[in-house]
Structure 1
Amino acid sequence: MIDSKARKFLDPLIDKTADFLIGIGLSANQTTWIAFIIGSFAALLVYLELPLIAVTLLWTSGFLDSVDGSIARKNNNASSWGTVLDITFDRIVEILMIISLALIYPSTHFLMMILLSSIIISMTIFLTVGTVSKNEGIKSFYYQAGFAERTEGFIFLTFMTLFPARIIFFIGLFAAAILFTAGQRILEARKILN
Structure 2
Amino acid sequence: MLDTHARKYVEPYISSTGRVLLRMGLSANQVTWIAFLLGILTGPLIYFEQPIWAIVFLWLSGFLDAVDGSMARSSKKTSAWGTVMDITFDRIVELSVIVGLAARFPQAQFLLLLLTASIVFSMTVFLTVGALSEKKGIKSFYYQAGLAERTEGFILFTVMILFPAWLLWSTGLFLAVEVFTALQRMFEARRILREEE
Q: 1:180 & 1:108 partners in 2: Cα distance? A: 21
Q: 1:135 & 1:12 partners in 2: Cα distance? A: 26
4+ residue runs over 4 A deviation = none
- 2:30 maps to 1:16: no
Q: 1:141 & 1:135 partners in 2: Cα distance? A: 8
User: Can you list the C-alpha shifts for 1:102-143, whole angstroms capped at 9, x where unaligned?
Assistant: 001001111011100000000000000000001331110000
Q: How does 1:1-194 map to 2 (within 5 A)?
A: 1-194=1-194
Percent identity for Structure 1 against Structure 2: 56
Q: 3-state DSSP class of the match of 1:145? A: coil
Q: TM-score, normalised by structure 2?
A: 0.97
CA contact (8 A) 2:46 2:161 kept: yes
Give unpaired runs (5+ residues) of structure 2. Answer: none
* Aligned amino acid, residue 126 of structure 2: F
* Aligned amino acid, residue 116 of structure 2: L
CA contact (8 A) 2:136 2:143 kept: no
User: Can you list the C-alpha shifts for 1:123-171, whole angstroms capped at 9, x where unaligned?
Assistant: 0000000000013311100000000000011011100000000000000
Q: 2:135 & 2:15 partners in 1: Cα distance? A: 23
Task: Indicate the larger mover: 99-108 or 130-139.
Answer: 130-139
Equivalent pairs, count: 194
Q: TM-score, normalised by structure 1?
A: 0.99
Q: 1:26 & 1:42 partners in 2: Cα distance? A: 23
Q: 3-state DSSP class of the match of 2:41? A: helix
Q: 1:123 & 1:189 partners in 2: Cα distance? A: 13
User: Can you list the C-alpha shifts for 1:33-54, whole angstroms capped at 9, x where unaligned?
Assistant: 0000000112211111100111
User: Can you list the C-alpha shifts for 1:5-32, whole angstroms capped at 9, x where unaligned?
Assistant: 1100000000000000000011111000
Q: 1:187 & 1:43 partners in 2: Cα distance? A: 34
